[in-house]
Structure 1
């Protein structure tokens, strides 16, 4: 009898243990998959989709780039969704010291060639089409100011004009830019090499010397103001190239041979002029034009909600997101609040333009403080620590997923659970949010509650966001029928 009782008790205990174990390990799926949250059972735990109002705006804030960043040259002439892009780079390359002189006797010097070399760091767009590149001389009337940081998206604020070409227009095959360069003076790769005209080489090697242009830096600037690299915008140009001025691969190479003793033995040599990180002037201009493109009919200056929204990496566009019902949401326990945004594929160009013009690697979800007229971090969720922002936990990195019959849809997810909890519990402010693809940018950063009374400006660099002009994406808005942008909240009642 006792044995039967023990067996019956053991069976009951085992059954209860199974139920308890199952209850403790059940989770509900999330887009990010981070953390365990209770299962949505409709009795104790619920989920809801908050209605969003979305629209697209041109980014009016100034975009800037710094000399350590990768800069961009190129042209996009065939993007029916976002329009055209033109990127030009203006910069100075100078001797490393003054007075400067070319070794050897001037009378015996024989000019070989001059080559402008740029350090190649990658591309965005269609690499199968060549880019037609030319080099021009900056005008004395608009010299580069080494102590002024030129706005990328407002070239008319302080324009840089040119007075003539220094090279012929040459086609660049993007697919070959990673090839090795091996000669007497170079053993490297990732160079964009643009031959300059012979008269330009003679100018730098024969006309200029330590008695005139090479006497001092101020003297050199009266003779030569710098280089402007431009790309023809006509078809088939459809890519942007990234270069770095501080890399050792960027230089003006002047090749010549001469006799250093007056004898018949001659020696081929090269002189390099490089960019000075402390005193070198530069201006990288990027011009967007949406005329005739799909986005042109969607950019707004009003409050009109839209079912399709557009984000173009800086300098470009952003999406405004409003959640009308969030401020009045009743108090509850927020297990998960996740904003989900998905790309609308381009059915006409799935294997071409949709692949060439990739979505930005990172989107930034920020709150907009209408009182201070500035962006700030999403309260309590976007947190900056000693190693930078908590992007992995907060979200924003581009992922790809299969959805609605498409196998490669770009998607972005943001966890804003603490922000929503503060709204429903403490009646914190429900901000209008912005979704953007910044390069260099700044946020008014507030630490998490309860230490959220003192703020400071936090600056994002391209390593924490996107390279200049790299990326664009068309997203479903808050009312789209198939790729709806949504705020999903998993909660329990109190």
Structure 2
């Protein structure tokens, strides 16, 4: 009896294995990649496909909206060059019952004097060397600049707006931005953190305080007298080594007037604040890679298979990849297919580290097609992740000095279903809008945030020690 049961169990296992191995039509969505059998070169094999790679500039149409985190400063990276971030914004008197306060300072004849006027910016984080020391300058935006409220946001590549009237400046060590600050606010002592405070000239404050109710009656009238602020890092700063990131929509970004006025026939210390309550903002980013290894990498990129790929987040670069051997691969059961990119050492990587996430998508080369697809069958959307997909599963997070992208279902679809093999893009976009493969839906994602943060060098297809490659574990059918 025992022998019969044993034979029955063994026969069931054999039939089950044969039913899988002999199948010529594999439903790729049913093949997982969590459990991969060991390669024994008897029933389970592995292979590596070569990848052709080249680096090119990333065409960019990024717009910074009011809700985005804005980059401010100058960052000199010996591998990738100089990045500059300028911030433009308008701050307005607070509303009362939905309308601007007609005279936010009260009757002009009640004002006894202005003690100080301070521009505060809500600090969020930094990228680069925390010991950077930069002089931040605040200018008045010229009336002729064309700067205005924009619900779409300005392109980060927009040329600088004219701003020539210097209102104030202050030098900072970037590591101090998250220090605790204590200052007087009217008759109270205030303790705060994550606040960049730049004192402005009192003559500017008195000018705004002198405007009558006609000017403050509407934002349009006020803008006709004062267009807003331009904040820039001085190119002559002592150590231009980092980028600071600020939030405009947080209450910590404001213009504060500390002044004295008559209240009930007695002198009192008063505070009035202007806040960011419209969409008049811009974050203008410029890159200069002249004379850097990155510039040399870009110059030799087009039409060659490169050994090094210099990948810079928006506005930056993109690696264009092709896998010639994939379209001719025979039908097989694919247990695992991973695109592997290994990190190479760059200059001062300890200060200028990798993007938070790298992304991989496909170039639409279908007849009459254009644009980009998410990776067919391998890219899965997510309703719970803020990125709208799961990079821990799909790939894109640096681990053990390499990136691995799971292309198992994509490769299975090519070898079994005859799906197209597309050129691929490896990059770190601030925002990207590929079409979900198999649909007409544009899928907008914010990937590598905040803007300008992150860069990395990885081995390309021609690298002899850390080759970019597609690794496949499979069984024959």
Shared fold (TM-score, shorter chain, > 0.5): yes
Name the residue aligned to 1:418. 409
Distance in 2 (alpha carbons) for counterparts of 1:486 and 1:151? 39
Contact 2:49 2:470 in 1 (8 A): yes
Name the residue aligned to 2:313. 313
Classify the secondary structure of the residue corresponding to 1:457.
coil
Of the candidates 202, 226, 244, which is equivalent to residue 206 of structure 2? 202
Classify the secondary structure of the residue corresponding to 1:183.
strand
Q: Deviations over 1:193-231 (max 9, x none)?
A: 0111121121122x22314x3232111011000000001
Q: How does 1:22-421 map to 2 (within 5 A)?
A: 35-77=34-76, 79-96=77-94, 97-103=100-106, 106=109, 108-147=111-150, 149-156=152-159, 159-168=160-169, 170-185=170-185, 186-205=190-209, 207-211=210-214, 213-234=215-236, 236-261=239-264, 263=265, 265-276=266-277, 279-300=278-299, 302-346=302-346, 349=347, 353-370=348-365, 371-387=368-384, 388-399=388-399, 401=400, 409=401, 411-421=402-412
Distance in 2 (alpha carbons) for counterparts of 1:252 and 1:217? 16
**If the length of structure 2 is used for normalisation, what is the TM-score?**
0.87
Residue 197 to residue 56, structure 1, CA distance change in 2 (3 Å):
same
**If the length of structure 1 is used for normalisation, what is the TM-score?**
0.84
Q: Quote the RMSD (CA, aligned, Å).
A: 2.4
Classify the secondary structure of the residue corresponding to 1:123.
strand
Tell me how far 1:99 sits from its aligned partner: 1.8
Q: Unaligned stretches of 5+ in structure 2?
A: 18-31, 95-99
Residue 183 to residue 34, structure 1, CA distance change in 2 (3 Å):
farther
Q: Deviations over 1:289-331 (max 9, x none)?
A: 1111111111156321111011111111111111011111111
Q: Deviations over 1:222-261 (max 9, x none)?
A: 1000000001234521100000000111101111011123
Contact 1:74 1:240 in 2 (8 A): yes
Name the residue aligned to 1:27. none
Distance in 1 (alpha carbons) for counterparts of 2:33 and 2:325? 26
Q: Unaligned stretches of 5+ in structure 1?
A: 1-5, 24-32, 402-408, 447-451
Name the residue aligned to 1:29. none
Distance in 1 (alpha carbons) for counterparts of 2:273 and 2:371? 45
Residue 214 to residue 201, structure 1, CA distance change in 2 (3 Å):
same
Contact 1:143 1:225 in 2 (8 A): no
Residue 90 to residue 293, structure 1, CA distance change in 2 (3 Å):
same
Number of residue pairs matched?
A: 439
Contact 2:120 2:253 in 1 (8 A): yes
Distance in 1 (alpha carbons) for counterparts of 2:202 and 2:267? 20
